[in-house]
Structure formats: structure tokens, C-alpha cells
């Protein structure tokens, strides 16, 4: 089985106005983005070419907003108590992996 292009665990996944999981997983594998609960159940998934993601001006350094199948999700990639440099780095890695996977598809 191939290694995922991007995988982050312990991600808070929220669909406005409520949180779906505080310890979920975001995974990019085989040209698909998958949002998973802490138990591994799929919340939503779509081909990376159909996903829009970015960091709005009002978002914190560790937050990203992704639109998957027309539903907007707020992804908090790390705890707010951690170093801000590593938070923005994780958010940047996610966005870069999403763009890279979309170019391949």
C-alpha cells in the first residue's frame, strides 16, 4: 500500500457552527482528499481537483478552510498552545500537498 502524499492527525474538523471531531485526520492519497474522524470513519472526501482550500485573512495561523463537495470545513491542524511557526508550517504543507496532488490529476 502506498504512503499518503499528506497525512495529519489530531486535526479539529468543524462544519460551521459545530465541531465534528477534535482529533480527526486529513489525508491526501491517490488524488483524493479525505476527512476522517478519530475512529477512522469518513466525514467527507472528494478528488483533489474538486476541492478548494485556502487560508482566509481572518483565520489563525494553524487554520485552513476547505470546501469539499460544496460543504465548507474549518481545519485546525494543530493545538493553539504550540509554537506558531510549526502551526503555519503544517497549514502551508497541507495547502502545498493539495496543489501538488491537483497538478498530478
Which of 6 and 105 is assigned the larger pLDDT? 6
- Extents of the domains making up the chain: 6-104
Give SS3 for 59: coil
- What is the spatial distance between Cα 27 and Cα 29, in angstroms, rounded to a whole number? 6
> Which pLDDT band, with edges at 50, 70 and 90, does 80 fall under?
very low
pLDDT in tens, 24-67: 999 999 999 999 999 999 999 999 999 999 998 888 889 999 99
- The percentage of the chain sitting over the pLDDT mark of 70, rounded to a whole number, equals 90
Distance from the first to the final alpha carbon of the chain: 19
Q: Across all residues in the chain, what is the average pLDDT?
A: 88
Beta bridge partners of 75: 13, 64
Phi, psi of 56 (to 5 degrees): -65, 160
For 6-104, CATH gives 2.30.29.30
Phi, psi of 98 (to 5 degrees): -65, -45
Amino acid at each position: 500500500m502506498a504512503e499518503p502524499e499528506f497525512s495529519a492527525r489530531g486535526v479539529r474538523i468543524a462544519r460551521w457552527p459545530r465541531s465534528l471531531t477534535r482529533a480527526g485526520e486529513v489525508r491526501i492519497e491517490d488524488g483524493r482528499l479525505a476527512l476522517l474522524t478519530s475512529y477512522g470513519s469518513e466525514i467527507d472526501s472528494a478528488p483533489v481537483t474538486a476541492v478548494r482550500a485556502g487560508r482566509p485573512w481572518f483565520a489563525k495561523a494553524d487554520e485552513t478552510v476547505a470546501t469539499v463537495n460544496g460543504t465548507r470545513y474549518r481545519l485546525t491542524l494543530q493545538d493553539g498552545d504550540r509554537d506558531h511557526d510549526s502551526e503555519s508550517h503544517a497549514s502551508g504543507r497541507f495547502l502545498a500537498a493539495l496543489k501538488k496532488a491537483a497538478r498530478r490529476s
